[in-house]
Structure 1
Amino acid sequence: DHWFGFDESDVWTLFHSYAFDFSVWELWGALLHGGRLVVVPHLVSRDPGAFLRMLADERVTVLNQTPSAFYQLMAADKENPGSDLALRYVVFGGEALEPARLADWYERTAAGEEGADAPTLVNMYGITETTVHVSYIALDRAKAAAGASSTIGVNIPDLRVYVLDEHLQPVPPGVTGEMYVAGEGLAHGYLGRHALTAERFVADPFAHLFGERGSRMYR
């Protein structure tokens, strides 16, 4: 709950397949906070209009979507003005977000971030090796209007994110590098895949700065 105000009054959806790690966040997010979880039928999940009606009927407050799925939901919402949604948060993950495509949503929802009833849109980068999220950034109308490129924000509390060069040294701001993820929320490796684990999970040269010994980072 570092950034969110989830509680027992929230209504979540289980929209995604159990095989997609986004479902872990959906399932346990609701259960951890004592909220209600609405299991979305498969056919409804493939019909943006039907899903929009379900969101309104069930008074869903926490929605988790890949950007491509949300763009379709936006189109359905535009075709059905006046949908009485109760959303408080929309969390994106699973693929790169194009903030400029959200501009129309902000225009049509309670004057954007200034409206008391407008949901907070959040972009969260994640990888299977951390199941689920790595980073967080709250979006706003200005970012969408400016056509900003996708950004992943800051690391969540139990993870660290480094951008390093080929010598595993930090690169200056604005310089291209490779992203590495470390911290307590990182997996230990791949079950039964020792060679792949050794290739992708490498020693963290900065672990001592955080009081750790022998920890690894994912590349």
Structure 2
Amino acid sequence: MDDTAIYLRNAAAMWSSLGPSVSYEGPLFRAVFPGFTRLIALAPAGPVEPPDGAYTFEDAFGPPADGLERLPVMVRPPGPVDPVQPRPGVTVGEVRDAAELVVAERVMVDGFPLPRFQPLHPGRALPARVLSLPGWRVWLAYRDGEPAAGAYTFDDGTSTGVYWVVTLPGHRGQGLAGTLLSAAISPNQPHSLVATHAGRPLYEKLGFAVTGHVNWHSRD
């Protein structure tokens, strides 16, 4: 669980950087946004009363349960990253301005998709201030000039969390996510993420290993 805690601490720090109302209730982290609450158990928290409205509660300590989404937590130790040579027509870079951030936001919201943010109102999923917040970096890949894949990372000072890695359906199978992540991963810190089952083989190739699992309780 120590390695899984790398992810839990990073996620709490990341949401703290965004949340207008943040609190720690014993082992339970809570960030309250307009119309949505994020909860993370940083240690065994026992029964948690669901808040009103939309919420997501990440619990890496509870047992599997019917009806819950249970996903692997993966951690990559510090170490060199084998660069992935982009295929012809593919470019990857860090988002630097508000206009391109809106493009990256749409790729991530539509690529999963993330119903909570649909229809997309620019800045609702990724507000423009993330471009100037310490630790935040947003990444975008283009294929033949079209926005095709995206992700963001958050450096909490001791580790980097990787979030919302996605490739749009029409561009999958072209190595975009691997190219993007090889640019985003630093060799100097551990990195953590919660993997989809489809994404896990890619992350294993990049040096991530499963350290635990997290139950996602949610209501949209």
TM-score where L is the length of structure 1: 0.28
Whose relative contact order is higher, 1 or 2, with alpha carbons under 8 Å and at least 6 apart? 2
Structure with a larger share of its residues in helix? 1
TM-score where L is the length of structure 2: 0.28
